[in-house]
Structure 1
Amino acid sequence: MRALVQRVRQARVEIEGEVVGAIEAGLLVLLCAERGDGELQADRLLAKLLKLRIFPDEAGKMNRSVQDTGGGLLIVSQFTLAADLGAGNRPSFTGAAAPDEGRRLYDYFVAKARAAYPVVATGVFAADMQVHLVNDGPVTIPMQIQ
């Protein structure tokens, strides 16, 4: 399972001009289920994400997690994180989980996040979304759990 995590001052997802999910300061999580992923990978990624120390402490050092700061999580499905450019200039997405399995794992991840953390917003799986964010730092961290 892959994620691209961005520390944000604010972020929102719009579909056809309507906001469907938004947070203030926290983490924007672009999430991709890959072939062979299951609940174990989702659980491990969520545990790591909630403890990821990328927020500044009083000394300005990245030493606090989203749990420490009380920030939000905005979780957005992003199958293009599985892009493979090994055979040319047009990406292949064969490494991404099949749509039904991707949706199941995305829904599982969101449900687990909501059970573990109080501030969780989402996009809409497989929708054409516009993601707006103010990247804080900027801080952008790729994550992969196998």
Structure 2
Amino acid sequence: MQRVLAAEVRVDGKVVGAVAPGDGPGLLVYLGVTHDDGDAEVAWTARKVWETRLLRDERSASEVGAPVLVVSQFTLYGDARKGRRPTWAAAAPRPVSEPLVDAVVAELRRLGARVETGVFGADMQVSSTNDGPVTLLLETP
């Protein structure tokens, strides 16, 4: 999760999701899913993204109504400890991960967030202007 001043996701040259500069600071969330993630992880992740005091003056997105851009990213579970070719065996396959990414987005919206997204499984180009920069890794318990 990154604190950003602006961020956008493009697919085939078209913007599909963004935190625009005029929106105020927001969050860019790269979301990975592993094999044993489920409903509990969905609820925890959405709540943590929405309530973590990552913005300036120790404020949360929920406190200031900051926009959230969620980008699915299976490569977060990449492992390059052995050899020269990373493995993504820890990443959940699409039939498992896509519904969970959608569920995190839905839960963020239920909590009151304005959420933009990338396109699951697409070749996305993501650009961001980080604020700080501040990046935080959130791992479910």
For the criterion TM > 0.5, the same-fold answer is yes
Give, in whole Å, the separation in 2 of the partners of 1:117 and 1:34. 26
Q: Check the 8 A contact 2:46/2:105 in 1, yes or no.
A: no
Q: Which runs of 5+ in 2 are unaligned?
A: none
Give, in whole Å, the separation in 1 of the partners of 2:113 and 2:53. 18
1:79 aligns with 2:82: no
Alignment of 1:1-146 (within 5 A): 5-24=1-20, 25-57=25-57, 63-146=58-141
TM-score w.r.t. the length of structure 2 is: 0.93
Residue 107 of structure 1 and its aligned partner are, at CA, apart by 1.0
Higher share in helix: 2
Q: Secondary structure at the match of 1:8?
A: strand
Q: Deviations over 1:103-128 (max 9, x none)?
A: 11111111111111241100000000
Residue 29 of structure 1 and its aligned partner are, at CA, apart by 0.2
Higher share in strand: 1
Give, in whole Å, the separation in 1 of the partners of 2:112 and 2:70. 12
Residue 132 of structure 1 and its aligned partner are, at CA, apart by 1.1
Give, in whole Å, the separation in 2 of the partners of 1:132 and 1:67. 23
Q: Which runs of 5+ in 1 are unaligned?
A: 58-62
Residue 80 of structure 1 and its aligned partner are, at CA, apart by 0.1
Displacement over 2 Å in runs of 4+? none
Q: Secondary structure at the match of 1:144?
A: coil
TM-score w.r.t. the length of structure 1 is: 0.90
**Counterpart amino acid of residue 17 in structure 1:** G
Match of 1:60 in 2: none
Give, in whole Å, the separation in 1 of the partners of 2:39 and 2:81. 28
Give, in whole Å, the separation in 2 of the partners of 1:115 and 1:96. 26
Give, in whole Å, the separation in 2 of the partners of 1:76 and 1:117. 18
